[in-house]
Amino acid sequence: MDQPPPVARTVDEWIHQRRSLRTDQSAIGRVMAYYGATLEHGPLLVPREWELAGPVPTNNLELRLAGTIESPRRPVPTPAVGVLPPGSSRGERYSSAVQRLASPGIFADRVCYQACDISVGDHGICLTLGVMRYFEFFDEGEAMRHEWELVGDDVQHATLRRALGDLTNLGGRKVIIGVTVVTLRVDHDNERATFLVHRRDPTAVATEQGQWHVVPCGVFQPRRDDATTWGDDANLSDLVIREFAEELLGMDEDVADDEIVNRFRDALASGGLRIWITGIGINPVIGNLEILCAAVFSDSTFDEVLRDLVTDSPEGSLRSPSDSVGVAGFTFERGVIDTLLSEKPFAPSGEAALRAAWRWRQRLMEQGADPAP
- Would you list the DSSP string of 138-176? HHHHHHHHHHHHHHTT-GGG-HHHHHH--TT-TTSS--B
In a domain, 372, yes or no: no
pLDDT in tens, 135-175: 999 999 999 988 888 887 777 788 889 889 999 999 888 99
Number of H helices, E strands in the chain: 12, 14
pLDDT at 15 over 90: no
Percent pLDDT > 70 in the chain is 89
Mean per-residue pLDDT for 291-307?
95
pLDDT at 2 over 80: no
Direct distance between the N- and C-terminal alpha carbons of the chain, in angstroms, rounded to an integer = 65
State how many domains the chain has. Answer: 1
pLDDT band (50, 70, 90) for residue 238: very high
In a domain, 3, yes or no: no
pLDDT band (50, 70, 90) for residue 96: very high
In a domain, 126, yes or no: yes
pLDDT band (50, 70, 90) for residue 13: confident
Mean per-residue pLDDT for 6-21?
82
Q: 120 to each of 159, 356, 360, how far by Cα in Å? A: 32, 17, 17
In a domain, 2, yes or no: no
Q: What is the pTM of this model?
A: 0.92
In a domain, 128, yes or no: yes
Q: Which amino acid is at 62?
A: E
Residues sharing a CB contact under 8 Å with residue 74, sequence separation 6 or more, in sequence order: 173, 174
Q: Give pLDDT, residue 113.
A: 96
Q: Give pLDDT, residue 355.
A: 96
- How much is the mean pLDDT over the chain? 87
- Residues paired with 217 in a beta bridge: 180
Q: How many CA atoms lie within 13 A of 244 on its CB side?
A: 31
Q: Give pLDDT, residue 6.
A: 62
65 backbone dihedrals φ, ψ, rounded to 5°: -85, 110
Residue 247 structural domain: 11-367
User: Which among 136, 225, 128 has a CA at the least distance from the CA of 173?
Assistant: 136
In a domain, 158, yes or no: yes
CATH number at 22 reads 3.90.79.10
In a domain, 265, yes or no: yes
Q: Using CB atoms within 10 Å of the CB of residue 269, give its burial: 0 to 12 exposed, 13 to 18 middle, 19+ buried.
A: exposed
pLDDT in tens, 342-357: 999 899 999 999 999 9
- Residues paired with 214 in a beta bridge: 197
pLDDT at 119 over 90: yes
pLDDT in tens, 202-231: 777 877 777 899 999 999 999 888 888 899
In a domain, 4, yes or no: no
- Cα separation of 288 and 218, whole Å? 12
User: Which among 311, 107, 112 has a CA at the least distance from the CA of 203?
Assistant: 107
pLDDT band (50, 70, 90) for residue 1: very low
pLDDT at 116 over 90: yes
pLDDT at 5 over 70: no
